[in-house]
Structure 1
Amino acid sequence: MRDQHQLRDDSPERSILARLILPDQTVEADPLEELHGLAITAGIEVCDELIQRRSRPETSTFLGKGKVEELRLIVERYDADVVIFDNDLSPGQVRNLEKAVNAKVLDRTELILDIFAAGARTHEARLAIELAQLEYSLPRLKRMWTHLSRQAMGVGMRGPGEKQLEVDRRLAQKRIFDLKQELAKVERRREQQVAARKEAPTVSIVGYTNAGKSTLMNALTDAKVLAKDKLFATLDTRTRRWQIPNWGMVLLSDTVGFIRDLPHTLVASFKSTLEETRQADLLLHVADASSPTVFDQISAVYKVLQELGIEEKDTLLVLNKIDAIDNPSVLNRVLDRYPNAVPVSAKSKKGFVSLEEAVGEALGREFYDIEVDVLPGDGKLLAYLESKAEVLSRQYGEQMVTIHARIPAGAMGPIRRDAAAIRPTPGSHHANDGLPSEVA
């Protein structure tokens, strides 16, 4: 782990941003705009930028020889403390670049991990960040892990003459194992807590970082969660009640924002934090319609959802920040590609009526509130209902077991085929709307 760089009179570190663009990469109008935002979020002053286009990275220094020298001169000119790459670098490339430019070198993943570490507030988030940082740093160990070296490892764990680096690696691996065990317990508790909620359907807000997710949640629920114009302002899940007119109450959750090339270790570590999203009945994918990179941001979010294994969940695209759009053609361009999206302004609450109607329709379309009569001996169907439906109650009669459940429309097939009877629950939202003909 690198030694802490000495700050200059408590002023922010001065940085140079760098990026290598390969032929197969999609390039934004400003290729370093997002990295600039990340640097500002981390409290780093940006002095200058350097971009190189190349067919492939240089093995030893990532950038070509001429660009490395140009980078050294820029660092010298601004007396910069750190060079931040909008790419992922190997440990060897970092070491070689640091020697060549005479400054600390960070890659994109390390910067994001640092931002998350600074923003973690809950015990669960701190565990997830520490695990992600350790897994990232393990192959990069080259100095003493002073914060881990005080931990006892037990008799016989260190052989005579063993190198300090090997001890450091073992300490890190032991801590990684312990963190995974602790996070697994947290995940199980979170799964049980989320699954135990029977009071209302669940809706989870997802989206690119700084798309206005927390602002939207505050406007819909008066939740008073932190909402700042900065990347990764929210790292922990918040859940609040949202009363939808003419429909009813739902539980609305807001969690960490996504980003292009979000580190895999971070996605894995935050699995428990994202459990609300994994189990939600509906996802609200919030996108910044005013951003010139809105299409790339939408694609990046879907990519992370795919990593989480929930890309097929019913999703409603919400185009936020329409109040920041002066030219209607900008919004129309997005709506042409996503005609079912709902344009809103979380700031002015414009479009909220359409959003509420769309959410109510989506929830009503995808889930049925039904009573199912099942023969007591039909263990297969009873197990199917337990696994696929939200079972709200059970009544055991002499000849039938009556299950009151909320179930996704896509899971109705075996129930239609094997249930003794199916009927809408009296007073449910779906009593006469959209149920299969044999139910309604």
Structure 2
Amino acid sequence: MEVESVKKHRLKNKSEAKSVMNTNENDAQIQICFVTKQQRYAVPNYPLSTHSSIIPDELNTIVNTLLKESNVIEDDVEFDFLVCSQFLRTSLLEHIQERSGSIEELIEVEYVEKYPSPEPKNCLIHDDWVSAVASCGKKWILTGSYDNMLHIWTLKGKHHLVIPGHTSPVKAVAWISLNDDKASFVSSSMDQTCMIWDWDITKNSVECVHICKGHKGSVEAVGINHDKTLMATGAWDNMLYIWSTSTQEEDNDGESASKKAKSEFANKTKVPKCAMKGHKQAISGIVWCDKTEIVTGSWDHTIKIWDSELGGIKHEIHGDKCFFSIDYSPLARAVIAGSADQHVRLYDPRSTEGTIVKAKFSSHTQWVMSVRWSTVNEHLFISGAHDNIVKLWDTRSLKIPLFDLMGHEDKVLSCDWSNPELIMSGGADNTLRIFKSKHVPC
């Protein structure tokens, strides 16, 4: 009886697949073959004939039928489908025609397991706008707010420490180091300073060890280099400064101030190692691409690539509107930038073929204020905008994000995805929203 039941089930599956493939028989027939890089879901890649107006849901039915026939799965799996290196979001015929392809040839349809929807986890309430956020390790979150304060939270959402010091709203934060009992981080503010802090985790006490002075306007962006020895800052004075992240100021002989037997309250002022001029308006985003290369985005409608050792501009990319945020992925070897024209663009600064702009992502309806790459998947990034929405994107889907992460009741000002398991966003609704995300191989 069990064998007979299995046979009937298989016949039913074959019938379902055949029905899907023959739907709309008046449409032109097209030859497809399925391929995947996720070998646990591999099916035979022989050609199949189907109607040209087939849509993703129908393709999903066919693949699941083939997988069940091969006893690979018992329950349905949701897949996304790639044709011509882009996710299929329309009918197969429309997709191919949009890319000037031909339906006369065998069409390779790649399928990948659909990325699971991030789940709302925590909402951390602040007293004012949450303008900066950065997570570190498996335990801590650092936020900056328009209440002039820094806040440290646990990943479970417990408020751990409030840190006064700045005299104006905090605009950017970044971690410098973290171990079991010590940490250091930096904050920048509208008060025209950056502060470098030492945190004794065991005692839960924080001390400002250096005040970085030099900027003549609100310090909007901070970027830490890969070995954590240098940081770059950009401000409303249009200047790009490079600073040492050392918590021990060095004199001209390279000897640390602590070894000079200076008092605990010696001058905390730190001066920049290098000042670079080139932007004509505020610098709003900074990221290090490698040991010496820095990328900045500005309100002057340009993205500039700098050489920190030579102290000058290597390359310049012109846009149509202000750039508000920028990030670089060593996995994708590409830059993304959020703009006042409501789009996110992907750039390949090293491109020698065609345009440097490789893709434009269109779905936000207001200024895009923050963008962040996934640290574990070369295709994924997030963006937050003044339309109150955080969007999770795949670079293979230009017009439709994978998910809209809802919850903010006012403008999204900051985002973070440095912890692969947590998507975070701060907003003008005084909240930090945290979403749980799952890593799925690309």
**TM-score range, shorter-chain basis?**
under 0.3
Report the TM-score when normalising by structure 2: 0.24
Report the TM-score when normalising by structure 1: 0.24
